[in-house]
Amino acid sequence: MSCVVILGAGIAGLSAGYHLQQAGIEPVLYEKNPRWGGLCDNFEVGPFRFDRFVHLSFSEDDYVKKLFTSSCAQNYHIPDPVNYYKGVWLKHPAQNNIYKLDVAEKIKIINDFYNRKPVPEEGISNMEEWLRLQYGDYFAKNFAMKYTRKYWTCEACELETSWTGSRFYLPSVEEVLEGAMTEDTPHTYYAKEMRYPQKGGYRSFLTEMAGTLDIRTDKEVTAIDPFAKSVFFADGTSDSYEYLISTLPLPEYVKLISGLPAPVELALKNLKYTSGVLVSLGFRRPDVAKHLWFYIYDEEILPARVNSPSRKSEDNAPEGCSSLQAEIYMTPDQLEKADLTSHLESTIRSLLDMGVFEAEDLMVKDARKEQYANVIFDHDIYKNRKIVHDYLDQVGIAYAGRFGEWEYFWSDQSLLSGKHKAEELVKKIKKSCVNGVCG
């Protein structure tokens, strides 16, 4: 029997384990994959390394930055994203960098931006209304709402708005006018600097936390009995626990816990999220990637976003080479039916048509599925999430991380989520274990 079991050795699980260990408690971590890291892990295609989705750290939290710095040497980047729209490359963010558009389209954007209806934000009921209020009808419809369909796999009116935070830049009329007249506009991206490990991919940021933890890989959870306090694995083994922290995606509990109350099961099934296909490409030229990443607004082009692992670190590609990774988002049902070969070839054709690279440049290609990408903030998310969290609280399962908390967490927020759960658990254990250490 283990005193503390942690399910999932991604950034939140590792953080929970690390901070428990710092308090003198030795947890056991179970990870279904062959390596720890979760979505912060990476994979290799020939001599190229690719992360699982784009990862760059822009945390302003001093504790997180110190922890990452103690793990590895870092590269420092100034964000330089661009946007592709109808054959034109626009500086990011597009809403205040429309210089390269034709005059007629600029006039429509500026006119609608200037004539926005003064609706108080508390009167806004969905994301579509919020976008129209912030950017005007034309830009909202032709840019933001189209990208919402590509990235979130749903209409903007199906989303609520409290999750947006600083993720959308809200320009003034003067900024929109300036960006229509010149490309020489100020940097307005929400992060001024981004960091990435010099070697080993984004996973290297987690090495300090992984440290000496007892991490058992290739251990896929098949069942949890919260009443018997036992976890069962696909290899036929099991473990009992006194305390459990889970970073597993909440919808997985439908398969893992038998006898769920009907309202809890329904709430779990109604939690919505996006899945993704990653298309990873390696090139025999060093200069294919011009930017750290770029966005694609055109809906007929499958990827929503493309990043460059080789620009983040030369260690991600052989000498004299470069790489790109495209992200295609879809619903879980679409992912189940997705033809990887079709998505791979479609992405290659689109990037060729966009002039991103030449056919003879391509050296390696790969496409693979990711079941969980992002939490969708539909109008019922908070109601359904509360039902699930209340149940987990009742049966003694602590939850952490993006898919355990069911939040739009960046990596530093997931790390702090695991830290917070560990600190809560330490307080409980100190009440029940001699000298603050549990067997």
Contact present, 243 and 4 (Cβ < 8 Å): yes
pLDDT at res. 1: 61
Rounded Cα gap, residues 226 and 245, in angstroms: 12
Nearest to 296 by CA among 326, 339, 332, 276: 326
Q: Do the Cβ atoms of 251 and 69 come closer than 8 Å?
A: no
Q: For residue 94, what pLDDT is reported? A: 95
- Its CATH architecture, for the domain 2-42+200-271+381-436, is 3-Layer(bba) Sandwich (3.50)
Q: What's the CA dihedral at 96, 99, 102, 104 to 10 degrees? A: 50
* Residue 27: C-alpha distances to residues 14, 137, 224, 366 (Å): 10, 53, 17, 36
pLDDT at site 436:
46
Separation of alpha carbons 420 and 438, rounded Å:
19
Strand partners, 366: 280
- Angle in degrees, CA 323, 324, 330, rounded to 5: 150
- Please report the pLDDT score of residue 430 as a whole number: 84
**pTM, full prediction:** 0.95
Residue with tokens 């320009």: 171
Strand partners, 276: 329, 370
Strands 194-197 and 74-77: antiparallel
Report the pLDDT value the prediction gives residue 437, as an integer from 0 to 100: 47
CB 332 within 8 A of CB 276: no
Q: In tens digits, what is the pLDDT along the chain, a chain of 439 residues? A: 679 999 999 999 999 999 999 999 999 999 999 999 999 999 999 999 999 999 999 999 999 999 999 999 999 999 999 999 999 999 999 999 999 999 999 999 999 999 998 767 677 899 999 999 999 999 999 999 999 999 999 999 999 998 876 678 889 999 999 999 999 999 888 888 999 999 999 999 999 999 999 999 999 999 999 999 999 999 999 999 999 999 999 999 999 999 999 999 999 999 999 999 999 999 999 999 999 999 999 999 999 999 999 999 999 999 999 999 999 999 999 999 999 999 999 999 999 999 999 999 999 999 999 999 999 999 999 999 999 999 999 999 999 999 999 999 999 999 999 999 999 999 998 877 555 444 4
String of DSSP letters for 188-210: --S-S-EEEESSS-GGGGGHHHH
What 3-state class would DSSP assign to 317?
coil
pLDDT of residue 168: 83
Burial category of 259 from C-beta neighbours within 10 Å (exposed 0-12, middle 13-18, buried 19 and up): exposed
Give the CATH fold of the 273-375 domain. Answer: Polyamine Oxidase; Chain A, domain 2 (3.90.660)
Please state whether 40 falls in left (phi above 0), alpha (psi between -120 and 50) or beta: alpha
Q: CA-CA distances (angstroms) from residue 268 to 113, 244, 276, 327, 391?
A: 40, 19, 20, 26, 11
Alpha helices for 323-400 (secondary structure H): 332-337, 340-353, 381-394
Nearest-Å Rg of the Cα atoms of the chain is 23
User: What single-letter DSSP state applies at residue 123?
Assistant: G
